[in-house]
Amino acid sequence: MLIRRPPDIAPSEITPPDLYRRRRAFLRSAGLIAAAVGTGVVLPASRVRAAAQKLPNTRSGTFSTTEDRTPYEDVTTYNNFYEFGTDKDEPAQNARSLKTRPWTVAIEGEVRKARTIGIEELLRLAPLEERVYRLRCVEGWSMVVPWVGYSLRELIRRVEPTGNAKYVEFVTVADRRQMPGLAYPVLEWPYAEGLRLDEAMHPLSLMCVGLYGEVLPNQNGAPVRVVIPWKYGFKSGKSIVKIRFTQTQPRTAWNRAQPREYGFYSNVNPEVDHPRWSQAKERRIGEFRKRPTLMFNGYAEQVASLYAGMDLKKNF
C-alpha cells in the first residue's frame, strides 16, 4: 500500500542527520516506535473522511490543471507536517486531536490595518474557489490536489501593506501540548516561511481552507494554510497563526536548518539540483514511473515574469 512505501527520500536525508538520529534513538529507547507499530492504530482514510465537513458554495476557480487528481486517501495520509512526526503516515494519526476552533490569525508589521482575524471571518472573506494545483515536494514526489480557498491577495489588500512592506512571513502554530513533534529539534519551531510581497500578491498564491470540497483535514494544515504551487511544497506553511509584513527578508525554518540546501526562493527548478540529489524528475503519488519536473512546476507562463533578470541558480 502506498502509505507503507518509504518516501522517495527518507526523513533522515532531509533532516540534519544528527538531529534525526537523536530523535529516533530517543523514540526507540522510550519504546515509542515499537509501541506505535505494535498497536497498528492506523486510522482508515474512510474514517478520516467521515469526520470531514463539506464547504458550501465553492465555485470552480481559475488556473486549475485537468490532470488526474491524486486520490483523497493519498492526499490525507501521505503528509509532511513535522510538528506531528517525520514519517509520512504520522500526521494523519497524530494531528487528529489538533484543536482548530477557536482559531485566529494575527496580521502584523508593515500594514495600515494590523488586526487579528478569526477563522470564521477568514472563511467568509472572499468567495471560495476550487483550484486544482500540482504540489511538488523537494523530496521528489508530487500530487494534484483540488484545494479550496481564495487568492491570498484578497486578504493582503484588505490589510493595506505600507510602502515599506517587501516580504510576507507566515508563522504556523506551535503548541507542545498538541504537537508531539515539537519535542524534537528537527527544525526551529515555530515553522515559518516567507514570500516576497509580489509573490504573495500573485493570483496563484492561495489562502487555503479546504480540499476535495471539504474543510482541510488537520494533517493538511487545518484550519488555514497557504499553497504556493510553483514552489517546493515546504513553502506552503500549514496551520497559520500569524502573517507578518516586513521590510527585510524573513528567515525561514528550512533555511535556518540547512542554509546550503534550502534557499529563500525555493522555486521548483529542475536545473538546480538539491546538493544531495537531482531535482530533474519527480514521482507522482500513485504512479511508479518518474516524470520530468517542469520549470516552476508547470506554472512558468504565469510566474516566470516575477523573476525576470534574476539568477535562479544563485537565488535558489
Query: Which positions lie near ligand MTE, rule CB under 6 A?
Result: 79-83, 135, 137, 172, 191, 220-221, 233-234, 236-239
Report, in Å, the least distance between residue 309 CB and ligand MTE: 29
Q: How many CB atoms lie within 10 A of CB 45?
A: 18
Residue 147 Cβ vs ligand MTE, minimum distance, rounded to whole Å: 9
- Nearer Cβ to ligand MTE (107/208): 208
- Around 110, how many Cα atoms within 13 Å sit in the side-chain half-sphere? 15
User: CA-CA distance, 194 to 244, in Å (whole number)?
Assistant: 9
Smallest gap from residue 172 Cβ to ligand MTE (A): 4
Question: Beta 104-109 vs 240-246: how paired, if at all?
Answer: parallel
Q: How far is the CB of 310 from ligand MTE (least distance, A)?
A: 23
Closer to ligand MTE by Cβ: residue 223 or 233: 233
**Angle of CA points 39, 44, 46, to nearest 5°:** 160
Decide whether 61 or 233 has the Cβ nearer to ligand MTE: 233
Closest approach of Cβ 82 to ligand MTE, in Å?
Answer: 4
Smallest gap from residue 81 Cβ to ligand MTE (A): 5
Q: In this structure, are strands 281-284 and 214-215 parallel, antiparallel, or unpaired?
A: unpaired
- Chain centroid offset of residue 118 CA: 21
Which triple of cell numbers denotes residue 248?
Answer: 527585510
Please report how close the Cβ of residue 21 comes to ligand MTE at its closest, in angstroms: 19
Q: Tell me the residue number closest to ligand MTE, measured at CB.
A: 233
CA dist., res. 283 & res. 292, Å (int): 9
Closest to ligand MTE by CB, 167 vs 189, is 189
Q: Kindly tell me which of 156 and 227 has the beta carbon lying closer to ligand MTE.
A: 227
Question: Between 83 and 110, whose beta carbon lies closer to ligand MTE?
Answer: 83
Judge whether 52 and 219 are in contact, CB under 8 Å: no
> Shortest approach of ligand MTE to residue 79 CB, angstroms?
3
Tally the C-alpha atoms within 13 A of residue 113's C-alpha that lie toward its C-beta: 7
Rg (CA), the chain: 19
Residues belonging to the chain: 316
Residue 161 is given by DSSP the state B
Reply yes or no: is the peptide bond before residue 102 cis, omega within 30 of 0: yes
Nearer to ligand MTE, 94 or 172 (CB): 172
Q: Give the integer Cα–Cα distance in Å for 278 and 255.
A: 19
Which residue, 58 or 252, is less far from ligand MTE as judged by CB? Answer: 252
Name the residue among 235, 225, 230 with its Cα closest to residue 255. 235
